[in-house]
């Protein structure tokens, strides 16, 4: 199954700019880890209002929740997320299969 994960800006009271900067570095490590594991298909940012999205491939929403709880942007209270099951149409499935095959050849 696929899951659309959307991040929205939310800064907890008391979070410093240094903490945000460190959390962003940790967030990029988080993205790299799950890309290499093959769970994270792709991700991107919303340049107009902050936040962003990810597309995960997992067996269940619980698996995705277990992944994202390791993201410093979430556990430090800098952003919030929603997780929505995603069913690709035929053209999207083609792109995702192409993506999977390309990644497997590059590793």
Domain ranges of the chain: 2-106
Confidence (pLDDT) at 94? 65
Confidence of residue 107 (pLDDT cuts 50, 70, 90): very low
Confidence (pLDDT) at 3? 93
Confidence (pLDDT) at 70? 93
Q: How far apart are CA 42 and CA 25, in angstroms?
A: 18
pTM for this model (two decimals): 0.77
| Digit-coded pLDDT (tens) for 41-92 | 889 988 877 789 999 999 999 999 999 999 999 988 888 999 999 887 776 6
Confidence of residue 105 (pLDDT cuts 50, 70, 90): very low
Q: What is the DSSP string of 90-107?
A: HHHHHHHHHHHHHHHHH-
Confidence of residue 4 (pLDDT cuts 50, 70, 90): very high
Is the distance from CB of 67 to CB of 7 less than 8 angstroms?
no
**What kind and span of H or E run contains 8?**
strand 2-9
Is the distance from CB of 78 to CB of 14 less than 8 angstroms?
no
Q: Which CATH superfamily is domain 2-106 in?
A: Dimeric alpha+beta barrel (3.30.70.1060)
| Digit-coded pLDDT (tens) for 6-38 | 998 876 667 888 888 899 999 999 999 999 998
Which residue in this structure is represented by tokens 């696929």? 2
């Amino acid at each position: 199954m696929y899951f659309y994960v959307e991040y929205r800006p939310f800064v907890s009271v008391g979070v410093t700019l240094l903490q945000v900067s460190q959390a962003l570095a940790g967030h990029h490590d988080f993205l790299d880890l799950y890309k290499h594991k093959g769970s994270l298909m792709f991700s991107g940012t919303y340049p107009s209002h902050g936040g962003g999205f990810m597309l995960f491939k997992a067996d269940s929403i619980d698996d995705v929740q277990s992944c994202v709880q390791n993201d410093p942007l979430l556990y430090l209270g800098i952003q919030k997320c929603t997780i929505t099951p995603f069913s690709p149409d035929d053209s999207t499935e083609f792109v995702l299969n192409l993506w999977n095959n390309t990644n497997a050849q590059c590793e």
